[in-house]
Amino acid sequence: MAQKIALVTGGMGGIGTAICKRLAKAGYQVATTYSTPGKHEGWLQSMKDEGFDVFAVQCDVTSFESCQAAVAKVREALGPISALVNNAGITKDGRFQKMDKSAWDTVMATNLDSLFNVTRQVVDDMCEQGFGRIINISSINGQKGQFGQSNYSAAKAGMHGFTMALAQEVAKKGVTVNTISPGYIATEMVMAVKEEIRNQIISGIPVGRLGKPEEVAAVVSFLASDDAAFITGANIAMNGGQHMC
């Protein structure tokens, strides 16, 4: 049986790197995207030093044409994609009354429009193969909202609407579509926050700690497996009990 191919968008960040490693360990040949030329080389080398051979392709996830070209390169180099992890995302925080249009548009384009731009390129292959796993990385703030993040919260909430609709369309083709909504995860960005603020965040998490990127990656790996074939249209909240619904 041919090795399955996984594409992880935004795979060079803290959570993305953990996802790439875990999917590789699960037997996938992993490809990922990067946006800025040159910055990917050090990441690829560090992954190779750890024994992970990842294929990288430049892609602007806000551009349909760029996503089309990037997926074509992955397909040509590795084969059709069996698992897609829509992980690319950004924040541009600010109170709504002071938020300018560019902050809204940029976050919506990167976090929500990207789902259409990338998924549209792979879903036909998945349906033809009779196997596919589409996993969308949302956020706790898409479930409960967050002060200063009307753009981000709206985009992340929209991700799960996309998940539920597409899941119904492709279920009979052997393709599942699911959302994961992480809470506060101990990435470099979160760990760079002042310790007193970080401790305030942790005090609101019932399990008493931040999540680990590897824990998110473990859920991704399970959803990408054969064992998760009966799970589709779900939103898996992993936030240490900070928000329950």
* Domain residue ranges of the chain, discontinuous segments joined by +: 5-187+214-237
- Tens digits of residue pLDDT in 135-162: 999 999 999 999 999 999 999 999 999 9
- For residues 108 and 118, give the distance between their C-alpha atoms in angstroms, rounded to a whole number: 14
The 10s digit of each residue's pLDDT in 34-75 is: 998 887 999 999 999 999 999 999 999 999 999 999 999 999
Catalytic residue among 28, 34, 152, 184: 152
Which of 9, 18, 10 lies closest to 185, judged by CA?
A: 18
Annotated active-site residue 28? The verdict is no
Query: Domain 5-187+214-237, CATH 3.40.50.720 — does that match?
Result: yes
Q: What is the pLDDT of residue 38?
A: 80
pLDDT of residue 49: 97
217, pLDDT greater than 80: yes
The answer to whether the pTM exceeds 0.85 is yes
Spatial distance between the Cα atoms of 78 and 148, rounded to a whole number of angstroms: 41
- 224-229: list long-range contacts, CB under 8 Å, 24+ apart: 224/6, 224/23, 224/26, 224/28, 224/83, 224/85, 224/133, 224/135, 225/26, 228/133, 228/176, 228/178, 229/174, 229/176
